[in-house]
Structure 1
Amino acid sequence: MAKTDDLIFGVATGDAMGFPVQFFKREQAKAANVTKMLAHWTGNYPAGSWSDDTSLTLALADSLGETGSIDYDDIMRRFLLWLEGGSYTPKGKTFDIGQTCFNAIERFKKGVPPLECGGQKERECGNGSLMRISPLVFYIQKKFGERAFENPQVFELIHNVSRLTHAHPIALLGCDIFVAMLFSLLNVSKKEKALLFAYEKALSFVEQNPEYKEAFSKYDRLLAPDFCTLPEGKIASTGYVVDTLEAAVWCFLTTDSYRECILKVVNLGGDTDSIGAVAGAMAGLYYADSLEKGIPEEWKELLQNKELIMSVAEKLAES
């Protein structure tokens, strides 16, 4: 299936560009003046290193590619292999895991069923499922076709993949909006149409499932007509799922190339690796056919363990 490598490399490159300034304050990020791949600020990770965002994305993509289906036990086993064995990492060593993801994987290790592992409290609405869920769009496209988001099963599927680590409705709806945008980007030429498509499909789901209405209201600003005109000072760049999705979409919609998009992410500071992974998935897909506007080759070439990234992307494409 076309464009799997563009999405997977889009995630990894965005993650690796943001990782060196992860958790910098905005003024610190701007002062760093990042224009190329850098080593992590601690000095412990060389340029091109990527974090848990890419590792968990690869684990999900590898499960989809190898099984050709959705196997929640298999996905969680791969998450556990990452956490305890260093699988799906740049150098065979696990690092940088959020507490909600850690708790969910530990529950699975203790025998809790996969779909009961995710955090259910509102304070557990970090971006840990949003950052890794992008490969699911290819499975949805293949299984459900061009009218996939008219099928309630698609929302159930997205929610279940999120529930492995993040089960609160706010996190579930963030994943709905993001995956719907990616699905639209596979088929349309204008990025603004992708956001409108995502809004319409998510709204339709909520109208049929009113118990999600309160959670959906958290995304009102993202889905407002004037969202793209918001100044940078109004964009938060934290690990809260709503902030992460807003920041990633804002950077994507207000730039004109993958490079511009990711550099705008980096300059926001905060949770730059996760926001870079989410924005990178969208920009990687959208600019896939443009040598000038796509992922810069000099960034991609510096990615650590890019052979693993390519192998997983190829496997997913062939599934």
Structure 2
Amino acid sequence: MLFNDLSKDWMIDPTVVPAQMSPVDPPDVRNCDRLIASIVCFTLGEKLSNHSIETYILDHIELERECSHRTNLCLAWSDDVSLTLCFIVSLIQCGGYSQDDLNQQYINWWMNGFMSPTGVCFTPSIHIKQTIEQMSINLAAECFAVITDENIYTTPPSPPVAALLRISPIAYFYSNHSPSVRIEVITHCVRAMFGQEISIENFVIYIELLVNALNGHAKEKILQSMQIPLDRSHSMSVVLIKLIDILRMDNNDIQQGVQQALAFNKSIEQESKWLNPYDSNQTILATLYLQVSGALYYQIVPSEWFACTYAKETLMALAKWLNYEQKLNEFEEKILL
């Protein structure tokens, strides 16, 4: 299973937007239809919604296109989707979770618009800024082998619902590992992003839901095993409860489920008019539903959805490389055992 590391360089080119990348397949492509469908589908949440985009936003994108000399800037998905794809790239590059590399991919996104259809056109939201700052502080502390009081430097951000999406690639890469391995990675990742005091319970619930869908388990058995804390004061718990309800009531019809998810509109006022208009929690439930149901119903995802997918070739190549590196990682671990 030898391959040339240089063949993956296209994934970390910060000078092009995803639709302009020139992806190549890994040397050994396995059956990964569920994975492909899940990754493609979670980028479609905004496209399937009825966002009303102000004219000034489109003008702002056009101005950025002219100033940066980058063609094909496109309003296609949220910043959280871009960061999720950055995590996928990091897992592929490192053959597993690396806080250092993930932080670097996030900085590439921040500085260059890496994995972003709109480049650096929009101002990152406060919770994303806080996450990257928190990760940098943790890395610096680990580098010097010191224990820091993180509150001296910054207030650790409270994770938004979109954080479930951002750490979801853990399910993709570690779907065939033991739950204890996934919990270890989730713990390290969540604490690095949001501080030591954050509960990982909701993150574990969502990752296990996605893992079971990717592994082809029957939906009824998956839902029967779900135990979500009934804490309706926590937005993440509320969304998870609603997600399970929609999966139960979608009649195994992904289009019907999407409409139910989009009806659950949790609109919030934006922090700034120059934020990515898709970077809100208006469509996060639909995005999470699409990620899970894409794996569950991969055989009946409407063909027109794939036809209108932004950067489809890049997304499919990422899925194939992720699957390849996952299998390679499992093979190497078996040798060590």
- TM-score for both structures, normalised by structure 2: 0.65
CA distance in 1, matches of 2:244, 2:109: 28
CA drift of 1:168 comes to 6.5
CA distance in 2, matches of 1:110, 1:134: 23
Q: Which has the larger radius of gyration?
A: 2
Query: 1:63, 1:75 within 8 Å by CA — same for their partners in 2?
Result: yes
CA distance in 1, matches of 2:54, 2:160: 24
Letter matched to residue 13 of structure 1: L
CA drift of 1:308 comes to 2.8
> Mapping of 1:2-151 within 5 angstroms?
2=32, 3-18=34-49, 20-21=50-51, 40-43=52-55, 44=57, 49-93=76-120, 95=122, 97-109=124-136, 112-113=139-140, 124-142=158-176, 144=177, 148-149=178-179
> Mapping of 1:150-299 within 5 angstroms?
152-167=180-195, 172-199=200-227, 219-221=228-230, 240-255=235-250, 256-270=252-266, 271-288=281-298, 290-291=299-300, 294=301, 296-299=302-305
SS in 2 for 1:165: helix
Aligned-CA RMSD value: 3.2
Unmatched 5+ residue regions in structure 2? Answer: 1-29, 59-72, 143-147, 267-280, 326-337
Correspondence for 1:314 among 300, 314, 320: 320
Query: 1:185, 1:282 within 8 Å by CA — same for their partners in 2?
Result: yes
- Note the alpha carbon deviations across 1:5-47, whole angstroms, 9 max, x for none: 11111211124334x54xxxxxxxxxxxxxxxxxx53243699
Distance 1:166 1:262, change over 3 A: farther
SS in 1 for 2:115: coil
CA distance in 2, matches of 1:243, 1:94: 32
Unmatched 5+ residue regions in structure 1? Answer: 22-39, 200-218, 223-235
SS in 1 for 2:76: coil
Q: Kindly, what percent of the aligned residue pairs are identical?
A: 20
CA distance in 1, matches of 2:282, 2:307: 20
CA distance in 2, matches of 1:158, 1:58: 17
Query: Which residue number corresponds to residue 300 of structure 1?
Result: 306
- Note the alpha carbon deviations across 1:134-171, whole angstroms, 9 max, x for none: 221132124x2xxx12xx33212112222332346665
CA drift of 1:189 comes to 4.2
Query: 1:98, 1:128 within 8 Å by CA — same for their partners in 2?
Result: no
CA distance in 2, matches of 1:239, 1:97: 24
CA distance in 1, matches of 2:244, 2:315: 24
- Note the alpha carbon deviations across 1:172-200, whole angstroms, 9 max, x for none: 2111001111122233543232133343x
CA drift of 1:251 comes to 2.2
Pick which of 92-101 and 73-82 moved more: 92-101
CA drift of 1:101 comes to 2.4
Query: 1:6, 1:284 within 8 Å by CA — same for their partners in 2?
Result: yes
Query: 1:181, 1:197 within 8 Å by CA — same for their partners in 2?
Result: no
CA drift of 1:75 comes to 0.8
CA distance in 2, matches of 1:89, 1:239: 29
Q: Which structure: greater helix fraction?
A: 1
CA drift of 1:132 comes to 1.7
Query: 1:186, 1:285 within 8 Å by CA — same for their partners in 2?
Result: yes
Distance 1:170 1:198, change over 3 A: farther
SS in 2 for 1:261: helix
Query: 2:175, 2:214 within 8 Å by CA — same for their partners in 1?
Result: no
Query: 2:239, 2:285 within 8 Å by CA — same for their partners in 1?
Result: yes
Q: Across the two proteins, how many residue pairs are aligned to each other?
A: 256
CA drift of 1:60 comes to 0.8
